[in-house]
Amino acid sequence: MNRTELRGVRRAGLGLGAALASALLCATSSAAAPMSPGVPSDTHAPLERTTAQQACPVVYFDLGETLVHTAEDGSTGYLPGAAAYLRALRERHIKVGLITNVPPSWGTTDAERAARLKQEVDATWQGAVPFAWQDFGDRVLTPRTDAERKPAPALWERAAARSGRCTLVYQAETTQEVQVARSLGFVAYQVDQPHRPAFLPVWLVDLLSHLPR
């Protein structure tokens, strides 16, 4: 291994170490504050962990430029590594969701707006592997009003309210969204940064399910 390669390995190791430290610190702080700011107490699940909740954590993503890319010709497709990353989470039975801005006029419910989002993405999709909509189930959260559009905290608060005591992860490409999610108790990770993994490593996501809550 030459000096250039050695420096690259060291930088990657430092980046991963920083991501690990950040994630563990966030997870520890969120455990100390189980209720998300601004969410009414009656919307939270009981504090006792149930058998169904052992499948924690739940990994939420932004969509555009986090998992998919829109090219200049209007076509969309997976960003490098995104399909493999979702597959790795699926194989470990880790739930995933989307927290993404769409026009509130696309529907009166999350389900209606998610259906319209699927139509829009699929209509311009390129590539042999379709987007893994089935992985996200009903965990596609979209703004009901313009006031709920990110970076307003509403969508992250709704995710927290429906996730019981599960550790929540949020991954996005924008610093502002990552900061807001972190302030609300999410383990937040900015994707596609130099000298660090493109996504929060799956082994680390899996580790979060074993941390005390």
For 143-193, how does the pLDDT look when each residue is reduced to its tens digit (9 = 90+)? 999 999 999 999 999 999 999 889 999 999 999 999 999 999 999 999 999
Region 100-116 average pLDDT: 98
d(CA 160, CA 137) in angstroms, rounded, equals 16
Q: Over 60: is that where the pLDDT of 85 sits?
A: yes
Q: Over 90: is that where the pLDDT of 22 sits?
A: no
As to burial, measured by CB atoms within 10 angstroms (0-12 exposed, 13-18 middle, 19+ buried), residue 42 is exposed
Residue of higher predicted confidence among 30 and 116? 116
Q: Over 70: is that where the pLDDT of 14 sits?
A: no
Distances (CA, A) of 134 to 77, 97, 108, 125: 16, 10, 21, 16
Q: How far apart are the first and last CA of the chain?
A: 43
For residue 190, give the H/E element and its range.
strand 187-190
What band does 212 get if pLDDT is binned at 50, 70 and 90? low
pLDDT of 209: 76
Q: Over 70: is that where the pLDDT of 16 sits?
A: no
Which of 3.90.1170.50, 1.25.40.10, 3.40.50.1000, 3.40.228.10 is the CATH number of 3-208?
3.40.50.1000
Strand 68-70 relative to strand 58-61, pairing: unpaired
Contact indicator for 62, 169 with CB cutoff of 8 Å: no
pLDDT of 127: 82
What band does 213 get if pLDDT is binned at 50, 70 and 90? low
Amino acid found at 160: A
- Contacts of 146 by beta carbon, 8 Å cutoff, 6+ apart: 104
Query: How many other CB atoms are there within 10 angstroms of residue 209's CB atom?
Result: 17
Q: Over 80: is that where the pLDDT of 21 sits?
A: no
